[in-house]
């Protein structure tokens, strides 16, 4: 995947989930002299990693992460997420530009008193999609519902058009690149990052059906 998009991996250093100590990994990462660090450190690990990465004076090497979890952004705060890049399926500030996102986020804000996060959006969309299948078929038989969704692959529940790919049932959808705002420039408690780019849904970006051996 990295090669496909023109990147070279200069090194990897796996760690077990739930680890709060990254100091032994950091000099190793420094020694590899990467242009960017791709970090998969979910939850509390992420805050530990970013804290230690910053304290080792490595801020000049940008960090890119697969996703941001909204409460975790608030937990870490602007100092930690300043300048960090992330890819996400949803960020509440999309409500500014996308009507569907506004409807979803407003409802979420009203019900839970906080903006909608990325995982919650996945879950919401997933439940809505099952509901759509049930409505289409008036059935609750899993196989009947699944077949109906396979026949009607496009949907739009909270942020724009998405579709199921026929060969593997993977959902294709727009994604966004977000970047941590500078401390002092955040938007309220929850606006730690800002949207910097939209990646339109595109099957070519992922491994294709042929590459997965499913074509």
Partner 1 sequence: MFDISASALAAQVFTGLVLGGIFVLLAIGLSLIFGLMTVVNFAHGSLYMLGAYFGVFLLGLTKNFWVSLVAAPLMVFVLGLVIERVLVRPLYGRSIDDPLLLTFGLSLVVVEAVRIVWGKIGLTIDPPRALSGALDLGFMTFPLYRFFVIAVTVLVLVGLWLFLERTNVGLIIRAGSRDPLMVRALGLDLGRVWLLVFGIGAGLAGLAGILAGPMRPVYPEMGITMVIESFVVVVVGGMGSLLGAVVAGIIIGEVVSLTTFFAPKLSEIMVFVVMALVLLVRPSGLFGEAGLLE
Pick the closest to residue 117 from 147, 149, 88 (CA basis). Answer: 88
Taking CA atoms, 196 is separated from 48, 86, 93, 111, 192, in Å, by 25, 10, 11, 28, 13
How many CA atoms does the CB half-sphere of 42 hold within 13 Å? Answer: 6
Applying CB under 8 A, the span of 30-38, 83-91, 160-168, 206-214 interacting with partner 1 comes to 30-38
Q: Distance (Å, rounded) from C-alpha 59 to C-alpha 43?
A: 20
The answer to the question of residue 37 lying near partner 1 (CB under 8 A) is no
Shortest distance in whole angstroms from residue 31 CB to partner 1 = 4
- CB neighbours of residue 112 within 10 Å: 11
The answer to the question of residue 28 lying near partner 1 (CB under 8 A) is yes
Q: Which of residues 49-68 bind partner 1 (CB under 8 A)?
A: 51-52, 55-58
Q: Which is nearer to partner 1, 1 or 199 (CB)?
A: 1
Helix, strand, or coil here: 104?
A: helix
* Binding-residue total with partner 1 (CB under 8 A): 36
The answer to the question of residue 71 lying near partner 1 (CB under 8 A) is yes
Residue 158 DSSP code? S
Q: Which is nearer to partner 1, 58 or 209 (CB)?
A: 58
- CB neighbours of residue 34 within 10 Å: 16
Shortest distance in whole angstroms from residue 133 CB to partner 1 = 33
Contact between 70 and 94 (Cβ < 8 Å):
no
Q: Which of residues 7-26 bind partner 1 (CB under 8 A)?
A: 10-16, 18, 20-21, 23-26
The answer to the question of residue 80 lying near partner 1 (CB under 8 A) is yes
Shortest distance in whole angstroms from residue 91 CB to partner 1 = 18
Q: Which residues in this chain contact partner 1 in the complex, by CB under 8 A?
A: 10-16, 18, 20-21, 23-28, 30-32, 44, 47-48, 51-52, 55-58, 71-72, 74-77, 79-80
């Amino acid at each position: 995947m990295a090669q496909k998009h023109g990147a070279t991996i200069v090194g990897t250093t796996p760690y077990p989930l739930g680890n709060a100590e990254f100091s032994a990994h950091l000099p190793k990462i420094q020694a590899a002299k990467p242009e960017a660090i791709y970090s998969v450190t979910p939850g509390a690990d992420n805050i530990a990693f970013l804290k230690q990465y910053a304290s080792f004076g490595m801020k000049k090497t940008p960090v890119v992460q697969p996703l941001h979890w909204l409460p975790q952004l608030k937990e870490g705060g602007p100092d930690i997420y300043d300048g960090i890049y992330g890819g996400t399926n949803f960020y509440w500030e999309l409500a500014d530009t996308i009507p569907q996102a506004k409807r979803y986020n407003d409802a979420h804000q009203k019900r839970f008193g906080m903006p909608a996060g990325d995982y919650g959006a996945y879950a919401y969309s997933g439940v809505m999609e099952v509901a759509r299948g049930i409505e289409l078929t008036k059935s609750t038989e899993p196989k009947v519902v699944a077949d109906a969704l396979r026949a009607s692959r496009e949907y739009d529940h909270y942020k724009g058009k998405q579709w199921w790919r026929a060969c593997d049932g993977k959902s294709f959808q727009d994604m966004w690149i977000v970047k941590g705002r500078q401390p002092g420039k955040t938007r309220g408690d929850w606006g730690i990052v800002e949207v910097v780019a939209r990646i339109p849904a595109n099957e070519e970006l992922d491994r294709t059906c042929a590459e997965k051996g499913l074509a």
